[in-house]
Amino acid sequence: MHLSTGVDTILLDLGGVLIDVDYLAAAQAFAQLGFRDFETLYSKARQDHLFDGFEIGAISPAQFRDRIRDILRAPLADAQIDASWNAMLGSIPPERIALVERLKERFQVLLLSNTNAIHVPAFEAIVARENSILDFKALFHGAYYSCEIGLRKPDAAAFRFVLEKHHADPARTLFIDDSIQHVEGAQQAGLHAEHLDLAREDVCGLAERLGLLG
């Protein structure tokens, strides 16, 4: 199946698509602090939209940490919370960096990530240390973090914001994400969208299968 015909812009997700993410690692890190049910943390926090608010910048890192302390009922240091929260962040394999560079030869390549103000400096430091890339955003023709633009996937406004910045036509844009709800949101916003099933393949395999590399 070749989708490259009629597509001139590729919009990529970050977590799971480019950078490896291991939620279990964060769960284990919080368990070491005495909290052994990370899923409960998420479900409790959902009640007051903690994570959604953090991802659009409506909640500051300080407010986020205070809420975690409240939920866990523990006087944790900022550094302990940050380290546990960032434990989910892995590496970007070099072949995925190379993929972005190859895609840029044929397409306008953009990034849209639902992320937060604690994760951003952490993953940018990982990329600088492991991939020798000091300006991660410069790897793309445009890169946008939800916590900076105040919009998050799967809301249509998030897709529109990014595409309008780069004069990209939704009908000529292919979005790739490993979260099915984001894929569905992109489709509703008029984009072509492919769900990356990480149990079956990674983004390099998907790009090859879709004929994006020529």
Identify the CATH number of the domain in which residue 45 sits.
Answer: 1.10.150.240
Answer yes or no: do 82 and 178 share one domain: no
Query: Is the domain of 111 the same as that of 165?
Result: yes
Q: How far is CA 210 from CA 5, 20, 116, 174, 187, in A?
A: 10, 21, 31, 11, 17
Please give the pLDDT value at position 3: 57
Q: Does residue 141 share a domain with residue 68?
A: no
% pLDDT > 70, the chain? 95
Helix (H, G, I), strand (E, B) or coil at 122: helix
Residue 171 resides in a domain = yes
In this model, does residue 40 exceed pLDDT 80?
no
Question: If pLDDT is split at 50, 70 and 90, which confidence band does 167 have?
Answer: very high
pLDDT over 60 at 186, yes or no: yes
What pLDDT score was predicted for residue 1?
Answer: 40
Query: What local confidence, expressed as pLDDT, does residue 171 receive?
Result: 95
What is the mean pLDDT of the segment spanning 184-198?
A: 96
Least confident window among 91-95, 105-109, 210-214: 210-214
User: Is residue 4 pLDDT above 70, yes or no?
Assistant: no
Query: What is the domain count for the chain?
Result: 2
Query: Is the pTM for the entire model greater than 0.85?
Result: yes
Question: Is 119 contained in some domain?
Answer: yes
Q: Are residues 35 and 82 in the same domain?
A: yes
Domain extent, residue 77, equals 23-86
- How high does pLDDT run on average in the chain? 92
Rounded Cα–Cα distance for residues 31 and 148 (Å): 30
Judgement on whether residues 152 and 105 belong to the same structural domain of the protein: yes
Looking at 38, 63, 86, which one is the last position of a domain?
Answer: 86
The domain boundary residue, chosen from 86, 116, 136: 86
